[in-house]
Amino acid sequence: MAEERRQKLCSVILPTESMKAMAESVGVGSLQEDSCLALSEEVSYRIKEIAQDALKFMHHGKRRKLTTGDIDHALKLKNVEPLYGFQSQEFIPFRFASGGGRELHFYEEKEVDLSDIINTPLPRVPLDVSLKAHWLSIDGVQPAIPENPPPVPKEQQKTDSTEPLKAVKPGQEEEGSIQTKGQGASSAEVKGKEKMRMKPRSTHELSVEQQLYYKEITEACVGSCEAKRAVCVCVCSQGPKLKEFCLALFIRCNIMNSKYTTKHLLFPLIPAVVTCIVSKQLCLRPDVDNHWALRDFAARLMAQSCKTFSTTTNNIQSRITKTFTKALLDDKTQWTTRYGCIAGLAELGHDVIKTLIIPRLSVEGARIKAVMDGPVVSNIDKIGADHVQSLLLVSTSQQHKVGTNLCRAAGIFDAPAYINVIHYSSNHFEKYSILFFFRSSFKICSIFPKIGRRDLWTEPHRND
Amino acid sequence: MAAVQDGQMELDAEKETKPEILSDGTSNLSGNTASGTLSSSPLTAAPAGGAPKMEDQQTLIAVLQFLKRNKLTDSVEILRREAGLGEDQEDSQATDGSGGGKGDVDGGDANSLLSRVSITSAAAPQSMPVKRADDQPDVSVVLSAYSQQGDPSLYQVYYSGLKNFIESVLDCHRAELSQLFYPLFVHMYLELVYNNHENEAKAFFEKFSGDQECYYQDDLRVLCGLTKKEHLKGNEVLLDFRTSRFVLRISRDSYQLLKRHLQERHNNQIWNIIQEHLYIDIFDGMPRSKSQIDSMSGSLAGEGRRELNKAKVFHGLLKEPEIEVPLDDEDDEAENEEGKPKKKKTKKDSLGSKSKKQDPNAPQQNRIPLPELKDSDKLDKIMYMKESTKRIRLGPENLPSICFYTLLNAYQGLTAVDFTDDSSLLAGGFADSTVRVWSVTPKKLRKVKSAADLNMIDKESDDVLERIMDEKTASESKILYGHSGPVYGVSFSPDRNYLLSSSEDGTVRLWSLLTFTCLVGYKGHNYPVWDTQFSPFGYYFVSGGHDRVARLWATDHYQPLRIFAGHLADVTCTCTRFHPNSNYVATGSTDRTIRLWDVLNGNCVRIFTGHKGPIHSLAFSPNGKFLASGSTDGRVLLWDIGHGLMIGELKGHTDTIYSLKFSRDGEILASGSMDNTVRLWNSMKAFDEVETDDFTATTGHIHLPDNSQELLLGTYHSKSTPVTHLHFTRRNLLLAAGAYNSQ
The per-residue pLDDT for range B570-607, each reduced to its tens digit, is 888 677 889 988 899 999 988 888 999 999 888 888 88
Q: Cα angle at B663 between B658 and B667, to 5 degrees? A: 115
Q: Computed over its alpha carbons, how large is the radius of gyration of chain B?
A: 27
Average the pLDDT over B668-686 and give the result. Answer: 90
**Cα-flanking dihedrals φ and ψ of residue B587, to 5°?**
-130, 140
Beta bridge partners of B491: B500
SS3 state at B416: strand
Q: Which amino acid is at A189?
A: E
> Could you tell me which residue, A24 or A181, shows the higher pLDDT?
A24
Asked if A197 reaches chain B (Cβ–Cβ under 8 Å), the answer is: yes
Asked if B718 reaches chain A (Cβ–Cβ under 8 Å), the answer is: yes
* Confidence bin at B736 (pLDDT 50/70/90): very high
Chain B, 513 to 532: residues with Cβ < 8 Å from chain A are 527-528, 530
Average the pLDDT over B511-539 and give the result. Answer: 91
Q: Which amino acid is at B261?
A: H
Chain B, 450 to 509: residues with Cβ < 8 Å from chain A are 477, 485-486, 488, 504
* Confidence bin at B672 (pLDDT 50/70/90): very high
* Confidence bin at B210 (pLDDT 50/70/90): confident
> Could you tell me which residue, B726 or A397, shows the higher pLDDT?
B726
Residue A196 CB contacts under 8 Å (≥ 6 apart), including other chains: B397
Q: Do A62 and B413 touch (CB under 8 A)?
A: yes
Residues of B whose CB is below 8 A from A52: 222
**Cα-flanking dihedrals φ and ψ of residue A284, to 5°?**
-70, -35
Least CB-CB distance to A48: which of B225, B399, B719? B225
Quick check: B243 pLDDT over 80? no
Give burial (CB, 10 Å; 0-12/13-18/19+) of B500.
Answer: buried
Least CB-CB distance to B426: which of A131, A137, A196? A131
- Each residue of A363-416: pLDDT tens digit? 777 777 777 777 666 777 777 777 777 777 777 665 554 444 444 433 444 444
Q: How far apart are CA B124 and CA B118, in angstroms?
A: 7
Looking at the complex, report in whole angstroms how far the Cα of residue B695 sits from the nearest Cα belonging to chain A: 35
- Cβ atoms of A74 and A54 within 8 Å: the answer is yes
Q: Do B716 and A127 touch (CB under 8 A)?
A: no
* Confidence bin at B691 (pLDDT 50/70/90): low
Q: For strand B402-408 and strand B734-739, is the pairing parallel, antiparallel, or unpaired?
A: parallel
| Max CA separation in chain A (angstroms) | 102
Q: How many CA atoms lie within 13 A of A401 on its CB side?
A: 11
Average the pLDDT over B418-442 and give the result. Answer: 91
Residue B720 CB contacts under 8 Å (≥ 6 apart), including other chains: B676, B740, B741, B742, B743
3-state secondary structure chain A: CHHHHHHHHCCCCCCHHHHHHHHHHCCCCCCCHHHHHHHHHHHHHHHHHHHHHHHHHHHHCCCCCCCHHHHHHHHHHCCCCCCCCCCCCCCCCEEEEEECCEEEEEECCCCCCHHHHHHCCCCCCCCCCEEEEEEEEECCECCCCCCCCCCCCHHHHHHHHHCHHHHCCHHHHHHHHHHHHHHHHHHHHHHHHHHHHHHHHHHHHHHHHHHHHHHHHHHHHHCCCHHHHHHHHHHHCCCCCCCHHHHHHHHHHHHHCCCCCCHHHHHHHHHHHHHHHHCCCCCCCCCCCCHHHHHHHHHHHHHHHHHHHCCCCCCHHHHHHHHHHHHHHCCCCCHHHHHHHHHHHHHCCHHHHHHHHHHHHHHHHHHHHHHHHCCCCCHHHHHHHHHHHHHHHHHHHHHCHHHHHHHHHHCCCCHHHHHHHHHHHCCCHHHHHHHHHHHCCHHHHHHHHHCCHHHHHCCCCCCC
Question: Quick one: pLDDT at residue B610?
Answer: 86
Average the pLDDT over B169-190 and give the result. Answer: 82
Least CB-CB distance to B405: which of A64, A131, A196? A131
Identify the top-confidence range among A30-34, A99-103, B435-439: B435-439
* Confidence bin at B182 (pLDDT 50/70/90): confident
Quick check: B136 pLDDT over 70? no
Q: Do A9 and B572 touch (CB under 8 A)?
A: no
Chain A: residue whose CA lies nearest to B732: A139
Average the pLDDT over B362-373 and give the result. Answer: 82
Q: Do B573 and A42 touch (CB under 8 A)?
A: no
Question: Quick one: pLDDT at residue B33?
Answer: 38
Q: How far apart are CA B396 and CA B668, in angstroms?
A: 8
> Could you tell me which residue, A416 or B721, shows the higher pLDDT?
B721
- Each residue of A110-122: pLDDT tens digit? 788 888 888 888 8
Q: Computed over its alpha carbons, how large is the radius of gyration of chain A?
A: 34
Chain A: residue whose CA lies nearest to B403: A135
SS3 state at B509: strand
First to last CA, chain B: 57
Question: Quick one: pLDDT at residue A359?
Answer: 76
* Confidence bin at B349 (pLDDT 50/70/90): very low
**Cα-flanking dihedrals φ and ψ of residue B404, to 5°?**
-105, 120
Mutation site, B15, B204, B392, B404, interface A, largest A CB count within 10 A: B404
Average the pLDDT over B700-706 and give the result. Answer: 66
Helix axes A226-236, A244-256, angle to 10 degrees: 130
Beta bridge partners of A106: A95
* Confidence bin at B256 (pLDDT 50/70/90): confident
Chain B, 547 to 606: residues with Cβ < 8 Å from chain A are 570, 572-573, 590
Least CB-CB distance to A61: which of B401, B486, B527? B486
Q: Which amino acid is at B390?
A: K
Q: pLDDT averaged over chain B?
A: 75
Question: Quick one: pLDDT at residue A343?
Answer: 83
Q: How far is CA B285 from the centre of its chain?
A: 31
Q: How far apart are CA B319 and CA B525, in angstroms?
A: 34
- Cβ atoms of B441 and B426 within 8 Å: the answer is no
Question: Quick one: pLDDT at residue A243?
Answer: 45
> Could you tell me which residue, B56 or B648, shows the higher pLDDT?
B648
Asked if B205 reaches chain A (Cβ–Cβ under 8 Å), the answer is: yes
Looking at the complex, report in whole angstroms how far the Cα of residue A60 sits from the nearest Cα belonging to chain B: 6
Asked if A133 reaches chain B (Cβ–Cβ under 8 Å), the answer is: yes
Q: How far apart are CA B404 and CA B408, in angstroms?
A: 12
Q: How far is CA B426 from the centre of its chain?
A: 25
> Could you tell me which residue, B368 or A190, shows the higher pLDDT?
B368
Least confident of B348-352, B475-479, B491-495, B660-664: B348-352
- Cβ atoms of B703 and B709 within 8 Å: the answer is no
Q: Which amino acid is at A393?
A: L
Instruction: Answer yes or no: pTM beyond 0.80.
Output: no
Least confident of A75-79, B453-457, B559-563: B453-457
Give burial (CB, 10 Å; 0-12/13-18/19+) of A311.
Answer: exposed
Proportion of chain A above pLDDT 90, given as a percent: 0
- Cβ atoms of B388 and B730 within 8 Å: the answer is yes
SS3 state at B177: helix
Q: How far apart are CA B6 and CA B240, in angstroms?
A: 12
Chain B: residue whose CA lies nearest to A138: B401
Question: Quick one: pLDDT at residue A268?
Answer: 66
SS3 state at B95: helix
- Cβ atoms of B99 and B135 within 8 Å: the answer is yes
Least CB-CB distance to B224: which of A11, A139, A149? A11
Q: How many CA atoms lie within 13 A of B382 on its CB side?
A: 14
Q: How far apart are CA A99 and CA B656, in angstroms?
A: 49
Nearest partner of B674 among B653, B693, B690, judged by Cα: B653
Q: Do B397 and A196 touch (CB under 8 A)?
A: yes
Q: Do A134 and B406 touch (CB under 8 A)?
A: yes
Q: For residue B424, give Cα distances in angstroms to B410, B427, B535, B636, B664.
A: 21, 10, 19, 29, 17
Nearest partner of B275 among B573, B3, B630, judged by Cα: B3
- The backbone region for B423, taken as left when phi is positive above 0, alpha when psi lies in -120 to 50, beta otherwise, is left
Least CB-CB distance to A9: which of B206, B406, B680? B206
- Each residue of B498-523: pLDDT tens digit? 999 999 999 999 999 988 999 999 99
Q: How many CA atoms lie within 13 A of A190 on its CB side?
A: 6
**Cα-flanking dihedrals φ and ψ of residue B341, to 5°?**
-60, -35
Looking at the complex, report in whole angstroms how far the Cα of residue A95 sits from the nearest Cα belonging to chain B: 28
Question: Quick one: pLDDT at residue B436?
Answer: 93
Neighbours of B329 (CB within 10 A): 5
Q: Do A133 and B405 touch (CB under 8 A)?
A: yes
Chain A, 66 to 95: residues with Cβ < 8 Å from chain B are 69, 73, 77
| CA quadruple B706, B711, B716, B722: dihedral, nearest 10 | -60
- Cβ atoms of B316 and B624 within 8 Å: the answer is yes
Q: Which helix (H) or strand (E) holds B361?
A: none
Q: How far apart are CA B76 and CA B82, in angstroms?
A: 10
Q: For residue B83, give Cα distances in angstroms to A98, B136, B738.
A: 69, 21, 54
Looking at the complex, report in whole angstroms how far the Cα of residue A386 sits from the nearest Cα belonging to chain B: 49
Q: For residue B275, give Cα distances in angstroms to A181, B150, B162, B372.
A: 61, 15, 16, 52
Residues of B whose CB is below 8 A from A197: 397
Asked if A199 reaches chain B (Cβ–Cβ under 8 Å), the answer is: no
Question: Quick one: pLDDT at residue A439?
Answer: 39
> Could you tell me which residue, A377 or B676, shows the higher pLDDT?
B676
Q: Which long-range contacts (CB under 8 A, 24 or more apart) does B225-229 make?
A: B225/A11, B225/A44, B225/A45, B225/A48, B225/A49, B226/A45, B226/B190, B226/B193, B227/A11, B227/A41, B227/A45, B227/B193, B227/B198, B227/B201, B227/B202, B228/A41, B228/A42, B228/A45, B228/B193, B228/B198, B229/B193, B229/B194, B229/B195, B229/B196
Mutation site, B504, B530, B657, interface A, largest A CB count within 10 A: B504
Residues of A whose CB is below 8 A from B590: 56
Question: Quick one: pLDDT at residue A189?
Answer: 38
Q: How far apart are CA B193 and CA B190, in angstroms?
A: 5
- Each residue of A166-196: pLDDT tens digit? 544 443 333 333 333 333 333 333 333 333 3
Least CB-CB distance to A149: which of B235, B398, B719? B719
In eight-state DSSP terms, residue B310 is G
Looking at the complex, report in whole angstroms how far the Cα of residue A62 sits from the nearest Cα belonging to chain B: 6
Q: pLDDT averaged over chain A?
A: 66
